[in-house]
Amino acid sequence: MDNSRLIAEQKLSALLAKIEASEMALMEQIAGTERPVLLDVIRAIDSIGYLRAFAPNHRVSDLPGYLDICWLGANRALSLFLPGGMVGPGAAWAPTSNDRSRWASSLLYRSGLVSHLKRLVDFLRYGLARLELSKSGAIRFVITAADFEAIDRNAIIWFTQHIKKADRPFLNALEADQGEWVTRELEARVQRDATFGIRYSSSRELEEYFETYAELRARGLPGNDSLPDDCRIGPLSFGQYRTAIVTGMARCLKHTAFVDTLLVRHNPPAARDILTIFAFDHELREQWGGLLNLKDDEADIMLEVLGISPSDSTHLKLIPDCPQALLIRGGDQCWHKPVFGGLNNPFPWVNRKLQRMFRSDWDRAVNLREAVFRDDLRALFPEPRFFMPSKPRRLREGGRVLTDIDAAIFDRQTGTLAVFQIKWQDSFENSLTERASRQSNLVKEGNAWIEVVSNYCAGLGGDERALQLGLPNDMAASAKAMCLFVLTRNGAKFSGGEPQDSRAAWFSWFDLLKRCHSLSPGKDPLLELWKSGRKTRPPRGRREVQRFELDGVRIESVVVN
């Protein structure tokens, strides 16, 4: 090991130790006053979540990447004040002050920088980067791995925009029909409250208006269809949890609409005071329990699933991201009702919470997802041009099962037969530990499947191969090229690690949708998809040096792939 790298490692180790010590000192300093501090941090996150949802390009600060860095630090910032900030009688509500708001925002930004640094350290751990000491003495992370994950990230962004574009005519019509009425209702129903800053009433018509918007937003969010609606997870169905999530999103949209209406009036209250509100357990039981006709104990479970509670303290420290929950426990009998989750995407949080609380139920339900995935695939390649066998098929040899063919699609027009292995892996978000697990499992199982199917079909003629793969006799005779696909619901592309077998095309569902949308009509779509999926290249990364500073130590990262 060269001397400069050793110096860089020593500086990094000392910095990480200093960060941990400073966070411990902060926790000791605020011990006994965690509840009001937690509220200030939630208010800071709410302001970031609001801007990300409605004004993502708004320049808040001269600090680079301010919104994204703060968002990245939300988990870490919240975890510093748990569980102490969640226990105690009554509601810990008080108006904020400029000093406390600035402190909470600076803590959130610093927490984001720390989370970013921890993620860079994970890049080293998983062989995606190397460490250097720059000529100026800064700790430099040289990222060597190609960012194949960007393909799936960009596909998700495309999918969300595509859904919004498809919904735009309906939303325009809704706005033309009800927009002026909604504006009048908001104006008439909201007032400034002497204690809490805001007070308003609602109506069934207003609720339905915002629920319509929320459902349209939800359709484009990853995780909203993680399980079939009728799957039982704990005492409720996934469909019931989903209904509660969409209703929570609608209430966040409604609340921010009232906030916006009040803020443009003369002498408005402080935005942070009215953006984050609270409610007592009995109120939420009545609201959420009434929505789904739940008993009190079932409503309590629903609230726990939707929210962040003391039981989540350990989990928050593991994932560098924003926990987009709809509720945050604020005391023994009350919850904060932030908007940052409902305005963005609360599904990943709820899905993870369901997995942790009801692991066995979740694992059983996962087995039902393949049928849903097959139905989605059938809808993407519909009759009469395409044929898909109604059931999966097993390949056997000498009475022994070799592997499963999860799905096959035959193009009657071209004779191309596409053969699929389907994987519905849960998303890993920003956790490199979970990413490494997903990558290892997917590549190991996918490569093994490709090898088995390729060897099995190697000595067969086109018609015999098609018969074995599930086509009826009348179609098998016209089958020509066979294409292998490994199709995942979420991430399919990974940087580093064991290479993916290029005899198959590897796609996430969102990437497949994106590529199908851009295919030229009348050609051989299955073959074209297979070719494009086998030779995918990552988008070109930005090569400029990114710099930031923590506790007087300069840190740089640069992409060199």
**Cα Rg, the chain, nearest whole Å:** 26
- Check residue 328 and give its pLDDT: 98
Return d(Cα 456, Cα 394) in angstroms, integer.
Answer: 12
Assigned token pair, 412? 């009657």
How many residues are there in the chain? 561
Question: How high is the pLDDT of residue 68?
Answer: 92
d(CA 163, CA 218): 10
pLDDT for 1 equals 57
Q: How much is the pLDDT for 170? A: 86
Q: Which two tokens stand for residue 277?
A: 């509100």
Token pair for residue 307?
């929210």
Q: Tell me the C-alpha distance between 139 and 7, whole Å.
A: 9
β strands within 414-545, DSSP E = 417-423, 482-488, 504-508
Q: What was the pLDDT predicted at 113?
A: 96
Q: Which residues are CB-neighbours of 387 under 8 A, at least 6 positions away? A: 409, 410, 412, 471, 475
Strand pairing report for 139-143 and 553-559: parallel
| CA atoms of 215 and 167, how far apart (whole Å) | 11
Q: How far apart are CA 500 and CA 495, in angstroms?
A: 10
Closest CA to 218 of 240, 239, 249: 249
CA 78 to chain centre: 19
**DSSP structure string for 75-134:** HHHHHTTTTGGG-SSS-------HHHHHHHHHHHHHHHHHHHHHHHHHHHHTTSEEEEE-
Q: Read off the pLDDT of residues 345-384 as tens digits, 9 standing for 90 and up.
A: 999 999 999 999 999 999 999 888 888 899 999 999 999 9
N-term to C-term CA, the chain: 22
pTM, two decimal places: 0.91
Task: Give the separation between CA 220 and CA 160, rounded to whole angstroms.
Answer: 5
pLDDT in tens, 132-178: 999 999 999 999 888 888 899 999 999 989 988 988 888 888 888 88
One-letter amino acid for residue 348 of the chain: P
Beta strands in 258-305 (DSSP E): 277-280
What integer pLDDT is reported at residue 107 of this predicted model? 98
Q: Which residues contact 309 (CB under 8 A, 6 or more apart)?
A: 86, 329
Averaged in consecutive runs of 10 residues, what is the pLDDT profile of the chain (561 residues)?
85 96 96 95 97 85 85 95 93 91 96 95 92 93 89 91 88 87 95 94 94 93 91 96 97 97 94 95 91 92 96 84 94 96 96 94 88 92 93 88 92 94 81 87 95 89 83 87 93 88 95 91 88 80 81 92 70
C-alpha pair distances (Å), 359 with each of 37, 242, 351 = 33, 18, 11
- Kind plus residue range of the DSSP H or E element containing 237: strand 236-237
